[in-house]
Structure 1
Amino acid sequence: MILKLSKNVVFLFLICFSSLLFSQSKKTEKSIVKSVDQNTESAILLLKKAIQINSGTMNFEGVREVGRLFQAELDQLGFETKLTSGEAYGRAGHLIATRQGKKGPKFLLIGHLDTVFELESPLQNYTMLNDSIMKGPGVADMKGGDVIIILAMKALKEAGVLDDMSIEIIMTGDEEKSGVPLELSKKDLIEGAKRADIALGFENGDNNPKTIVVSRRGSTDWKLTVSGNPAHSSQIFTDDIGVGAIYETSRILNEFYLQLANEKDLTFNPGFIIGGTSLEVDVDETGGTSFGKNNVVAQQTIVHGDLRATSPEQLLKAQTIMTAIVSQNYPKTSAELIFGNDGYPPLALTEGNTKLLAHYNLVSQDLGFGPVEAVNPRNAGAADISFTSGYVDMAIDGMGLTGGSGDHTINETGDLNTVATQAKITAVLMYRLMNTKN
């Protein structure tokens, strides 16, 4: 006998089933929040322990020690973990942790183990400025973000949903000072992005918990070398001698400013310049010496700078304009402009990133933390998540510990209250994304 159900019965069944699913989802989210609250204190203790380990990028053993500290936490949560070797690119290596689930999208979570505070830095330990503001090396950039990842994973585990998820966590060991060549330094990160659908970065963004990064400017370096005819200064501007290297350099830099300064979110900074009759540049190209006299026309000038753009198209446009400017030389001068190959790519603004921000914003409001909007890309520097651009459907960054200031200085601080906040949003966001098709 075939039982025929009326449309009304089917409709009522679907309503009841949907209500059951909604009720279960809310119960799971409450369990996630409860877990974070119960484990926040131990997470902050973990953060303090990590901060007391110097992990300046070039302190390889310190970076590895922090990696082992976080590795042990992820091992306990059932991740398959490994610490890679960075010997091929002159760094400490990365921490990689994976779990294979059967539901939802594949997540890539990005952190980094290293800081800018090397062994010679005067900032080596944490201090509490009040009951919630901590000053310390890497508290915000970004050991706080690493701890938030671990706390969120623990909440998903205790809520009984972590086993369903496919997650890869990569904490790099050279975010602050990338290894060379970059294609080896960032290989694991790029391969992880190719496997993922969604990338979540746990840098601290612009230190504002009310903003999230949906696009980051890429960064590349450039080197300008200018040559002129050396002669007694009385002969400058003559047909035989021309204007000299310094005047030509001034023309080029001024034209960069005139033609590109109004490009939205584009910057091009000449951070180093040296010129004269003869030059000697340091091996690391951060300084040098020059010889010249006020009555001698300058023979050579060297300028180093960086170029930051929000998209590959904007970067290419700027490079094309800069190259054209350099080619239009003053009399009796020549110039060469070389762009570096080891820069950070832009994290371009995409429809997927914008949609992911909308999900994040809704979670934040549902949990009572208020609305979140996109940060101005001018307020967020280059970061590892940029290497996911073009590979994942959705990506956002700035999900780490926030509310502080003084990044990369001996006054770096972070608000410990945001550890729990960010972990709750992260875990609930991932849980919801696991159960949605878009």
Structure 2
Amino acid sequence: MKIPLFFAATALLAAPLHAKLTPPEARMAATVDAEYERSVALLQKLVDQNSGSMNLAGVEAVGKMVRAELEPLGFTVAWKPMTAIKRAGHLIATRPGKAGARRLLLIGHLDTVFEQDSPFQKFVRTGDKAEGPGAGDDKGGMVVMIAALRAMRAAGTLDAANIEIVLTGDEEDSGDPIALGRADLIAAGKRADVALDFEGLFVENGQDMGSIARRSSNSWTLKTSGKTGHSSLIFNDTYGDGAINELTRILAAFRTELPEPNLTFNTGIVAGGASAVLDADGVRATATGKSNVIPSIAIARGDFRTLSEAQTARVKTRMSAIVARHAPGTGAELMFEPGGYPAMAPTPGNRALLDRLNGVNKDLGLAAMPPLDPLRRGAGDISFVASDVDGLIGLGPASSGDHAPGETVDLASMRRQAKRAAILMTRLGTAR
């Protein structure tokens, strides 16, 4: 039985508070600096290969580039096709280490939000900044991961580490069913003792922040119905409120009755009238109607995000109760879509990992990283393993403008992030 990390927090924090870098750790830091331009060149190569989630060949091509970096480091690399969910696949790499060493799971993703028809396609560097699709999210994160592993090899600490890497090919637009698409990641989480997610570092007011939680992402669809007829008859006992008025009443009730800490909810698309239809993907709507006809149907689709699975269940119950109070002469149906992203709660074990990272920061001469408000992060792949293993998020580089043309990575941040990751993995990857 795996012992949760927070039970071992005292042991994790037992290292001397004022320890300096060991000779191997100093070697790792020096290697990261010496190979900085090599890392930037690799990032450019990855960015210049389009790998929008639906560019299946492009995602696989990026996977091959990463394979070429990992195999010389002693990893056994496999490609797991995901044709069953209409996605490219995932890259899974393993490197067994010293017997009894903690099992480290490293998480990232190969795909970006920028598809082949996006005008934003190329890496453009200006000093220690660079624009490019996925330069920060998450190709920069993969480069930090690889730079850290190279530094560990140079310092002689990689051989002892027991590492599994899962790089998904559809993090930005997951295939359906998501349970199939994340089955390999979930299985890896059950094998691991620590999970480290190499998505981007958050920086607030010049301060690097530590991330120990991610919120869930849950989609819902609300449909209301009403009795159609001439508009002069609306609100009477026979015709009632009409579908659109009932839909807006329910949405307004969500806004006034649902709010609680760490919860956000959003209505993303609405349609209603004599007819209303959402497309199969739920992102486009068509409707017909006239101003003098009571609408017979209305549809809304949105999401909500929570910090724990208990909060998710509570919010679903409250939303369902609001919908059940539909007005006379109307009907209402609320559907929660399967396959959302679970929550990663800020557990004691995750906090202990951040404490351990701050020990690394102290020895590197860097400021301590306070925990980031989870409202600042969206959903992510590490949440699929959060119920099984303690983890940290945000080991990738700092960036700005993610998911939009002009996405810019702070190249210099790759240095400190790779140093942090290499030393942290070395310290964690010892015998338990």
**TM bucket, shorter chain:** over 0.9
Which residue is equivalent to 1:254?
252
Which residue is equivalent to 1:82?
78
Displacement of 1:43 in angstroms is: 1.1
Which residue is equivalent to 1:414?
409
Amino acid at match of 2:385: T
What stretches of structure 2 of length at least 5 have no aligned partner?
A: 1-13
Displacement of 1:145 in angstroms is: 0.3
CA 1:324–1:31: 2 relative to 1, 3 Å: same
Displacement of 1:203 in angstroms is: 0.6
Q: How many angstroms apart in 1 are the aligned matches of 2:337 and 2:94?
A: 33
Given that residues 160 and 430 in structure 2 are in contact (C-alpha distance below 8 angstroms), is that contact kept between their aligned partners in structure 1?
no
Equivalent of residue 272 in structure 1, options 269, 274, 286: 269
Q: How many angstroms apart in 2 are the aligned matches of 1:307 and 1:23?
A: 44
Amino acid at match of 1:434: G
Equivalent of residue 155 in structure 2, options 156, 159, 174: 159
Match of 2:136, SS?
helix
Q: How many angstroms apart in 2 are the aligned matches of 1:405 and 1:41?
A: 21
Which residue is equivalent to 1:423?
418
Listed as ranges, the matches of 1:21-420 within 5 Å are 26-102=22-98, 103-128=100-125, 130-207=126-203, 210-261=208-259, 263-392=260-389, 394-402=390-398, 404-420=399-415
Given that residues 205 and 380 in structure 1 are in contact (C-alpha distance below 8 angstroms), is that contact kept between their aligned partners in structure 2?
no
Q: How many angstroms apart in 2 are the aligned matches of 1:395 and 1:297?
A: 53
Match of 2:229, SS?
coil
Match of 1:55, SS?
coil
Amino acid at match of 2:208: K
1:169-227, Cα deviation, whole Å (9 max, x unpaired) = 11110000001111111011101101000000011153556112111000010000000
Displacement of 1:150 in angstroms is: 0.6
Which residue is equivalent to 1:6?
none
Q: How many angstroms apart in 2 are the aligned matches of 1:280 and 1:311?
A: 33
Q: How many angstroms apart in 2 are the aligned matches of 1:62 and 1:289?
A: 33
Match of 1:141, SS?
coil
Q: How many angstroms apart in 2 are the aligned matches of 1:323 and 1:178?
A: 26
Q: How many angstroms apart in 1 are the aligned matches of 2:337 and 2:170?
A: 18
Amino acid at match of 2:40: I
Normalising to structure 2: TM-score of the pair? 0.93
CA 1:39–1:205: 2 relative to 1, 3 Å: closer
1:85-117, Cα deviation, whole Å (9 max, x unpaired) = 111211110111101112431000001000011
Amino acid at match of 2:195: A
Paired residues in the alignment total 414
Amino acid at match of 1:317: R
1:5-34, Cα deviation, whole Å (9 max, x unpaired) = xxxxxxxxxxxxx99xx9997111111111
Given that residues 202 and 208 in structure 2 are in contact (C-alpha distance below 8 angstroms), is that contact kept between their aligned partners in structure 1?
no
Which residue is equivalent to 1:11?
none
Q: How many angstroms apart in 2 are the aligned matches of 1:416 and 1:65?
A: 23
Which residue is equivalent to 2:11?
none
CA 1:23–1:237: 2 relative to 1, 3 Å: closer
Q: How many angstroms apart in 2 are the aligned matches of 1:228 and 1:385?
A: 43
Q: How many angstroms apart in 2 are the aligned matches of 1:348 and 1:436?
A: 27
CA 1:277–1:23: 2 relative to 1, 3 Å: closer
Q: How many angstroms apart in 2 are the aligned matches of 1:108 and 1:434?
A: 11
Q: Mean alpha-carbon deviation: is it higher for 202-211 or for 335-344?
A: 202-211
State the identity %.
44
Which residue is equivalent to 1:12?
none
Q: How many angstroms apart in 2 are the aligned matches of 1:176 and 1:270?
A: 20
Displacement of 1:76 in angstroms is: 0.5
Given that residues 199 and 395 in structure 1 are in contact (C-alpha distance below 8 angstroms), is that contact kept between their aligned partners in structure 2?
yes
CA 1:279–1:81: 2 relative to 1, 3 Å: same
Given that residues 207 and 405 in structure 1 are in contact (C-alpha distance below 8 angstroms), is that contact kept between their aligned partners in structure 2?
no
Amino acid at match of 2:303: D
What stretches of structure 1 of length at least 5 have no aligned partner?
A: 1-17
Q: Which of the pair has more CA radius of gyration? A: 1
Q: How many angstroms apart in 2 are the aligned matches of 1:75 and 1:435?
A: 23
Normalising to structure 1: TM-score of the pair? 0.92
Whose relative contact order is higher, 1 or 2, with alpha carbons under 8 Å and at least 6 apart? 2
Q: How many angstroms apart in 2 are the aligned matches of 1:323 and 1:432?
A: 48
